[in-house]
Amino acid sequence: MFTITDQQNQYLTYILSDSESDAHLKVVPDRGGIITHWQIKGKDILYLDEKRFADPTLSVRGGNPILFPICGNLPNNTYTHKGETYTLKQHGFARDLPWQVIAQNTDNCASLTISLESNPTTKAVYPFNFQLAFTYQLQDNRLKIIGHLTNHSTEKMPFSWGFHPYFLVEDKNQLVLDIPATQYQNQITQEIHPFTGGFDFNQDEIDVAFKNVSRSSSGYTDYSRRHEISLTYSDIYSTVVFWTVKGKDYICLEPWSAPRNALNTGKSLLYVDPGATFSSWVEMSLTFSSP
């Protein structure tokens, strides 16, 4: 049985549930449309820094933030369009603005659709008219996110989008990563390194981008928590970013449609024509390991 309920905490929170598989998802539209919790059979899948979440002046570290209209950062946080210079902070504005719930459904899954429309705040930094909608679908051990971007401008609209899931881990040294690439770029030093399947988690920070992935999926096995996480996604997600910080109980495995600075370089940048709608999807699933 699928249900959707809401609960007024600091923010209005929507709770999607699948009682048969004992799966639950929490979505907070007013805090960037973010998924804050995903739980299966009493096990938390996502990490959330509750103190940062409670402070609206800080970006959320945890859950699954939405990245739009850029992924990563721009040099000096600026880009140029038609001779005008605009300022966009890291990962764009979607994760910071309130979203609206526009649809709910519990027929074949627990499904919630949220929407963000262009407004004076967005147009000051991104001069386009648009409607962005994401549908969160919970069923069994799977979470599917379907995105639709409609361009209401009179010109072609450039963008990139992605997600920044924080997966809860207890012992990073018990992880086996499945990232389909042979090399990565260190986002801190910009150096290229071969990838042999793992990292030295004694580093203070690991921030790397895999730009030449060979398939539209990635994931990891967590032998400490006895489960496997798999991500599959549309082939437009050309970059996978891995990020973690020493002493924090999370890893981020992030599908991005383009690397950092795509609005300036054009690399893997997506476009949607006037009046058209662009769509893509990401699915995350969990498999329990045998004892």
Cα(55)–Cα(35) distance, rounded to whole angstroms?
A: 16
Domain 63-288 coded CATH 3.20.10.10: no
Instruction: State what percent of residues in the chain have pLDDT above 90.
Output: 98
End-to-end CA distance of the chain: 28
Cα(241)–Cα(253) distance, rounded to whole angstroms?
A: 6
* 190-194: long-range pairs with CB below 8 Å, 24+: none
Q: Each residue of 15-58: pLDDT tens digit?
A: 999 999 999 999 999 999 999 999 999 999 999 999 999 999 99
Could you tell me which residues come within 8 angstroms of residue 245 by beta carbon, excluding any fewer than 6 positions away? Answer: 204, 205
Asked whether the predicted pLDDT for residue 290 surpasses 90, the reply is: no
Handedness of CA 68, 70, 71, 75 (dihedral sign): negative
What average pLDDT does the segment 173-198 reach? Answer: 95
Mean pLDDT of the chain: 97
Query: SS3 for 170?
Result: coil
Cα(128)–Cα(155) distance, rounded to whole angstroms?
A: 8
Please state the domain extents for the chain.
63-288
Where does 183-274 have alpha helices with state H?
262-265
For residue 291, the model assigns a pLDDT of 63
Q: Each residue of 63-82: pLDDT tens digit?
A: 999 999 999 999 999 999 99
Cα(259)–Cα(240) distance, rounded to whole angstroms?
A: 9
Helix count and strand count (H, E) for the chain: 3, 25
Q: Each residue of 94-124: pLDDT tens digit?
A: 999 999 999 999 999 999 999 999 999 999 9
For residue 212, the model assigns a pLDDT of 85
Could you tell me which residues come within 8 angstroms of residue 244 by beta carbon, excluding any fewer than 6 positions away? Answer: 172, 201, 205, 206, 250, 251, 252
Q: Each residue of 250-279: pLDDT tens digit?
A: 999 999 999 999 999 999 999 999 999 999
pTM: 0.97
Q: What is the CA radius of gyration of the chain?
A: 18
